[in-house]
Amino acid sequence: MAGARGGGRSTGVSAAPHLRADAARNRERIVEAAREALALHGTEVPLDEIARRAGVGNATLYRHFPDRSVLARDVVLAVAERIADRARDALDEAAQGCDPFEALSRFTAAAVEERVGALCPFLSEDFDDQEPRLLAARQRLERLVGELFDRARRAGRLRADADIGDLLLALGQLTRPLPGTECAQFDRFLGRHLQIFLDGLRAPARSELPGRAATVEAFRQG
């Protein structure tokens, strides 16, 4: 059954184990506020501003996240799990008879809303992308997107010379504002560029792509 390989919906990655309910809610609010602030203002946004957006005191923020690296991990983890949930929803739609390419398109649009590209500068050289929870979230996402690709390709709706890495790379590029560009200004063109990209994935292909398809392995290696 579609989506079975991907597992169930995530249950809130921001909440550390054994937290009281109110503390867990504070942690989740901080992570969401950090994601929004980073997407809007970049990596230099003050932690005080994140606390203000989350509606918590500075002491509460620092109690949960003593430094930016801990906050970065949880923001990336939350985004990865939420995007994977979107992929699972798209698989469920395809299993219920939805055009698999349209399901893939809706997933891509939902993933773009997470502004994952705006978070890329937050991932410094010492960011541990092999941390077990992050690795599990990434593998789940890749597995679900791979199944979406397989369904769309079997239906003859996805060009044969594209692969998962092409999509994952495009998600980062489409949602990463140019230096000195305000997010609001950048967003005016995002829907147009997303549609251009999706049209390029459709079968039958109108051109031959140069080079090799970007597999997951190639994407990981940069």
| Weakest mean pLDDT among 60-74, 140-154, 184-198 | 184-198
CA distances from 71 to 56, 85, 215 (A): 15, 21, 29
Contact by Cβ (8 Å): 121, 43: yes
Question: Which of the pair, 4 or 140, is modelled with greater confidence?
Answer: 140
- pLDDT of residue 18 exceeding 70, the answer is no
Handedness of CA 217, 4, 147, 117 (dihedral sign): negative
Residue 33 pLDDT exceeds 60: yes
* Higher pLDDT pick, 165 / 116: 165
What's the whole-number mean pLDDT along residues 109-114?
87
Least confidently predicted of 38-47, 130-139, 173-182:
173-182
Gap between the Cα atoms of 65 and 137, Å rounded: 20
- The whole-angstrom separation of Cα 147 and Cα 78 is 21
**pTM (predicted TM-score):** 0.75
Whether the predicted pLDDT of 188 surpasses 80:
no
Residues 6+ apart with CB under 8 A from 105: 198
What band does 126 get if pLDDT is binned at 50, 70 and 90? low
Q: Which residue has the higher pLDDT, 79 or 102?
A: 102
Task: Name every residue whose Cβ is closer than 8 Å to that of residue 84 and which is 6 or more positions away in sequence.
Answer: 6, 10, 137, 140, 141, 144
Alpha helices in 42-159 (DSSP H): 47-54, 58-64, 68-95, 100-113, 132-154
Q: Which residues contact 63 (CB under 8 A, 6 or more apart)?
A: none
Distance CA 114, CA 110 (A): 7
Say what the pLDDT of residue 186 is: 56
164-174 helix and 132-154 helix, angle to the nearest 10 degrees? 110
Whole-Å CA distances, 112 to 3, 62, 87, 172? 21, 30, 12, 8
Helix (H, G, I), strand (E, B) or coil at 48: helix
Find the length of the chain: 222
* Window from 10-24, 71-85, 183-197, 198-212 with minimum mean pLDDT: 10-24
pLDDT band at 39; cut points 50, 70, 90: confident
Confidence at 148, pLDDT banded by 50, 70, 90: very high
